[in-house]
Amino acid sequence: MYCKVLDDQLQAYDDAMDSFLDRKTAIVTGGARGIGLAVVERLLQAGAKVAFCARSQSSVDSALKQLKHLSSGDKVFGAAADVRSTGNVEEFMNQVRQTYGAPDILVNNAGIGTFKAVGDFSPAEWEELMGTNLTGVFNFCRAVLPEFRRNPAGGQIVNISSLAGKNAFAGGAVYNASKFGLNGFTEALMLDYRQENIRVSLIAPGSVDTDFSPRSSGTGSTSWKIAPEDVAEAVLGVLHMPARTLVSLVELRPSKPKK
């Protein structure tokens, strides 16, 4: 009897998690692969309409094909946009508004990783990494905030950072700088707008099993790493909290990191 009651409770929870974003519109940057694609999939499963961007149209088209099993097409929209470009961001946002109306959720996931000593970095590489990992977040937050502030229900912003935002490592100075900056930006953003029903959260994963950077390549098993779907589940958990509660920081680590 106890097991049946528990099973019923778990099923009810699963059903709630798979529908609680009905009538919500979410934006995901860098949504064509890795963590971003997993987040798009999970948001669709939870009932949201999702608009995502990636830098190339070919990446967007490939992701849309993978998402066909979750949506007939009316609940997912993808377009190429460079998060570093305010013009690209404005054009993408206009497309989202025309397709779904005002957004309710923003997940800033777009990011790149280049890992080498500072002396080996070119100014162009610095601009690309900082522009993608930090300026891109600013561009999208600035784009959605006016609508979130006008909405009595507010809105939610989830920024995907990294444990590299608090743990420096050799060869990671520029990447560390972008993530340390993102962490500080996110915390201050949360303080700026929490009284206007805008909840801002930071998710900081450790090693995730994606092709994100050269540090992720190599031989051997990667089963010890966090899966992109695990990060997506954390995003959903943050969004599912009652409006009275703000989850400001989630840190994710592999349970058994490689020795």
Q: What is the pLDDT of residue 27?
A: 98
The enclosing H or E element of 127 equals helix 123-130
User: Cα(65)–Cα(24) distance, rounded to whole angstroms?
Assistant: 22
Strand, coil or helix: 247: coil
Which residues have C-beta within 8 Å of that of residue 222, sequence separation ≥ 6? 209
> pLDDT value at position 22?
95
**Cβ-count burial of 134 within 10 angstroms (0-12 exposed, 13-18 middle, 19+ buried)?**
buried
Question: Of the candidates 174, 167, 247, 246, which has an alpha carbon nearest to the alpha carbon of residue 205?
Answer: 167
> At which residue do the structure tokens 């997940």 appear?
107
Residues identified as active-site: 175
Is 59 in contact with 33 (CB distance < 8 Å)?
yes
Q: How would you write the pLDDT of the chain (259 residues) with one tens digit per residue? A: 556 555 555 445 555 556 799 999 999 999 999 999 999 999 999 999 999 999 999 999 999 999 988 876 789 999 999 999 999 999 999 999 999 999 999 999 999 999 999 999 999 999 999 999 999 999 999 999 999 999 999 999 999 999 999 999 999 999 999 999 999 999 999 999 999 999 999 999 988 767 764 444 455 677 888 999 999 999 999 999 999 999 999 999 998 888 7
Q: Which two tokens stand for residue 202?
A: 């930071």
Cα(244)–Cα(17) distance, rounded to whole angstroms? 18
**φ, ψ for residue 177 (rounded to 5)?**
-60, -40
Sequence spans of domains, the chain: 22-252
| Residues recorded for the chain | 259
Query: Can you say whether the dihedral through the CA atoms of 207, 212, 217, 220 is positive or negative?
Result: positive
Give the per-residue pLDDT at 223.
Answer: 83
pTM of the model: 0.90
Give me the long-range contacts of 163-169 (CB less than 8 A, separation at least 24). 163/204, 163/205, 163/206, 163/251, 163/253, 165/204, 166/204
Tokens encoding 259: 């020795």
Note the pLDDT of residue 83.
98
Angle between helical axes of 86-100 and 136-150 (0-180°, round to 10)? 40
* CATH of the domain spanning 22-252, picked from 3.30.420.10, 3.40.50.300, 3.40.640.10, 3.40.50.720: 3.40.50.720
